[in-house]
Amino acid sequence: MIPRTVYEEEHELFRGSVRKFLETEAAPYHAQWEKDGQVDRALWTKAGEQGFLSPSVAEEYGGVGVDFRYNAIVDEECGRSGLTGIGWGLHSDIAVPYIERYGSEAQKQKYLPKCVTGEIIMAIAMTEPAAGSDLQGIKTTAVKDGDDYIINGSKTFITNGQLADLVIVVAKTDPSAGAKGISLFLLEAGTPGFSKGTNLEKVGLKAQDTSELFFQDVRVSKDQLLGEEGMGFIYMMQDLPQERLNVSILAIACAEAILEQTIAYVKERNAFGKTVATFQNTQFKLAELETQVSAARVFLDRCLELHIEHKFDSVMAAKAKLLTTDLQCKVVDECLQLHGGYGFMWEYPVARAFADSRVQRIYAGTNEVMKLIIGRDLLK
């Protein structure tokens, strides 16, 4: 492998503590959480005590104020361990940064410290039953009423939806203004009229709670508007590169881990009096996958560096997401094949990874949408 240069010694020390934490506090319970459809809330507060949630939040709001590489390490460790029920990435890399970047001072004071401790779990609700890729087609509205807004509508497929204490809701404040009529609201769980649907049953990510959310005449004060009215779409476009980077980091960490586990497996497994590792097909498959994963790792690390330097744009993010998630799905599929029937058994990490990976090509913008972004840029 080409040596990684993106991290320094202190990052690797941090990695060690995240890995140990996951091994002791998450891995032994994850199978049960898959049955429960969500992780134990206590995992969040324990992680908060260790400084693993939103490490980039400034010290004045309770964080440690470090750069995104610390978030990336948490993502890598979750990705490599296959503990896919843990929705910290959605919280730390995707939702909380909206408050950091666009929140008022009062909102930052009120919410960020608890986001760091894990007392507040966040979600972001963009997708609706009739609008996913085409976000401008959302129907949820927030209508001004004096100093308040009244929110009506519904959302679906919302990660952390059951556990969430605070949800960023994307709503239309001016349905006639297209993208300029979209705004973001901070909605607290328990607000009258705001309800959560059942935990959705999914192909993979079994321990991650994913929900529908409903808003019926939900009254929120104008203090719950996040940033400026009408700027919601622009904020989302600005923040999507970090979301796509998060997904890419999970993808390559998972691919590397599954490849490593498969190499160990084929060296042990026998067929026709020799190990599966001795077959030329096995060697060629592994060689191809390893070559592609190594190349993607170098590309992704460079993306991470560019992100730290604030030079990672939406086209690069689309390329990273497309490349890494397609590759992740290819790796887990080929590795499952090399496991034979055992690869199809839930107890094997490769089986879980196969189920869990599939959605990576769908959420955070489908890979077809990534191609649209890249194609548009090429032909502009």
- The binding site for ligand FAD (CB under 6 A) comprises 90, 123-127, 132-133, 157-159, 202, 205, 210, 359, 362-363, 365-366, 368-369, 372
User: Which residues share a beta bridge with 274?
Assistant: 271
Bridge partner residues of 4 (DSSP)? none
Report the greatest alpha carbon distance in the chain.
79
* Residue 51: strand, helix, or coil: coil
Structure tokens that stand for 363 in this block: 């959420």
Tokens of 24: 């002791």
Residue 203 C-beta: closest distance to ligand FAD, Å: 9
Of 118 and 365, which has the nearer Cβ to ligand FAD?
Answer: 365
Closest CA to 250 of 124, 82, 68: 82
Of the two residues 140 and 262, which places its CB atom closer to ligand FAD in the complex?
140
Considering the complex, what minimum distance in angstroms separates the CB of residue 129 from ligand FAD?
8
**Least distance to ligand FAD, CB of residue 320, Å:** 17
- In the annotation, is 49 catalytic? no
Q: Of 263 and 369, which CB lies nearer to ligand FAD in the complex structure?
A: 369
Q: Which residue is nearest to ligand FAD (CB)?
A: 132
Determine which one of 243, 256, 260, 288 is catalytic.
243
Give 92 or 210: the residue with its C-beta nearer to ligand FAD: 210
Taking Cα atoms as reference points, which of 75, 85, 91 lies closest to residue 123? Answer: 91
Residue (of 37, 23, 28, 351) closest to 207 by Cα position: 37
Q: Tell me the closest approach of the beta carbon of residue 214 to ligand FAD, in angstroms.
A: 14
> How many residues would you count in the chain?
380
Helix axes 314-338, 232-268, angle to 10 degrees: 20
**Helix 41-50 × helix 105-117 angle, to 10°:** 100
- Enter the tokens of residue 370: 């990534």
- What the block records as the tokens of 5 is 């240069």
Q: Which two tokens stand for residue 261?
A: 């586990």
- Closer CB to ligand FAD, residue 10 or residue 368? 368
Residue 321 C-beta: closest distance to ligand FAD, Å: 12
**Choice between 306 and 362, CB closer to ligand FAD:** 362
Q: At what angle do helices 9-21 and 68-81 cross, to 10 degrees?
A: 40
Closest CB 248 distance from ligand FAD, rounded Å: 15
Bridge partners of residue 124, in order along the sequence: 168
Provide the angle, in degrees to the nearest 10, between the axes of the packed helices 232-268 and 68-81: 40
Identity at 237, one-letter amino acid code: M
CB proximity list for 308: less than 8 A, separation 6 or greater: 67, 68, 69
Point out the residues that are catalytic: 243
